[in-house]
């Protein structure tokens, strides 16, 4: 099983970090190599340009790919399927035009020139709107094209909008919302290893922003403690063995998964309700 991942750029480090946290440690590093093995002998990693990854997967050079949804849409490959939204690398593909210009709606683009690094997505967007502008493909500095009379408007990626504002461009409409996704080729989806990889990555995402609480609670106070724990499906309650090894009935151990933002208040409330010996730990992976 070969996974294609970005070899550089803003998506490279978060992707490698996610693989490591999911237990797919790269044994021979990720620097200046085309391939890397992982601790799983059945899984290797292929490093490629983010824009090339959909084609690599579609053509069989890799079985799974991790790259932006925008790149998959632009590649127009029809034999890959999205398996998981990895929820990072979020951005928008937007139609933008000069702030002081007359182009304020999608309809205003009829007969105009639009520059973009995403001609396929842009063509689909305007086709759906029933508009047929002249689309010019560029390979960089798209935001400059309206100011050097190469285009009347642009379709480009934006995360914060800062670059658009610096170049006096205003958003006319959103073309596509994107984030990094895991996707696979149709003919490998039944391979059990695909589900293993998807589950491993999903478990890391599920654990983000969660904390594991452990505490001892007098049996008489258990209901009161339960009432103030905002756990996932309710806390786990276990008997506690005493120093003599015998299980007693005066105290129980209570474990719960809570959102990180609820930890401060939850500790205060369970302590008031009678809990003691409270321990909070991070969660590396959570399989639901």
Q: pLDDT digits over 152-185, tens only?
A: 999 999 988 899 999 999 999 999 999 999 999 9
Containing H/E element for 35? strand 35-37
Residue in this structure with the two tokens 């020139």, named with its chain if needed: 113
pLDDT, position 245: 53
Six-digit token string for 193: 């290893």
Which parts of the chain have pLDDT scores under 50? none
Nearest-CA neighbor of 186 among 78, 85, 86, 65?
78
Which residues have a Cβ under 8 Å from the Cβ of 32 and sit 6 or more positions away? none
pLDDT, position 288: 80
Domain extent listing, the chain: 2-89+179-206, 91-178, 209-282
Task: Give tens-digit pLDDT for 43-72.
Answer: 999 999 999 999 999 999 999 999 999 999
Six-digit token string for 182: 């895991």
What does the alpha-carbon distance between residue 276 and residue 69 come to, in Å, rounded to a whole number? Answer: 47
Tell me the fold of 2-89+179-206. D-Maltodextrin-Binding Protein; domain 2 (3.40.190)
In this chain, the answer to whether the domains covering 91-178 and 209-282 adopt an identical fold is: no
Tell me the fold of 209-282. Alpha-Beta Plaits (3.30.70)
pLDDT, position 28: 74
In CATH, what is the architecture of 91-178?
Answer: 3-Layer(aba) Sandwich (3.40)
């Amino acid at each position: 099983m070969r996974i294609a991942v970005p070899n550089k750029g803003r998506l490279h480090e978060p992707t490698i970090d996610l693989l490591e946290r999911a237990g797919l440690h790269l044994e021979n590093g990720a620097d200046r190599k085309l391939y890397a093995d992982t601790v799983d002998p059945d899984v290797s990693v292929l490093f490629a340009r983010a824009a090339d990854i959909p084609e690599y997967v579609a053509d069989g050079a890799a079985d799974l790919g991790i790259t932006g949804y925008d790149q998959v849409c632009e590649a127009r490959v029809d034999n890959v399927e999205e398996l998981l939204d990895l929820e990072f690398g979020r951005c928008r593909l937007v139609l933008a035009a000069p702030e002081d210009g007359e182009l304020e709606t999608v309809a205003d683009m009829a007969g105009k020139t639009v520059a973009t690094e995403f001609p396929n997505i842009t063509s689909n967007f305007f086709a759906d709107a029933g508009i047929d502008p002249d689309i010019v493909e560029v390979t960089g500095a798209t935001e400059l094209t309206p100011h050097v009379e190469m285009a009347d408007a642009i379709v480009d990626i934006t995360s914060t909008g800062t670059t658009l504002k610096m170049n006096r461009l205003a958003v006319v409409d959103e073309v596509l919302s994107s984030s990094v996704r895991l996707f696979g080729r149709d003919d490998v989806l039944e391979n059990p290893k695909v589900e293993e990889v998807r589950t491993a990555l999903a478990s890391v995402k599920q654990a983000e922003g969660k904390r594991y609480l452990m505490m001892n609670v007098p049996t008489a106070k258990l209901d009161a403690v339960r009432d103030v724990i905002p756990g996932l499906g309710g806390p786990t309650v276990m008997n506690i063995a005493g120093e003599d090894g015998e299980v007693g009935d005066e105290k129980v151990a209570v474990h719960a998964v809570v959102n990180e933002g609820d930890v401060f208040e939850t500790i205060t409330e369970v302590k008031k309700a009678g809990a003691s010996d409270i321990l909070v730990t991070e969660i590396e992976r959570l399989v639901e």
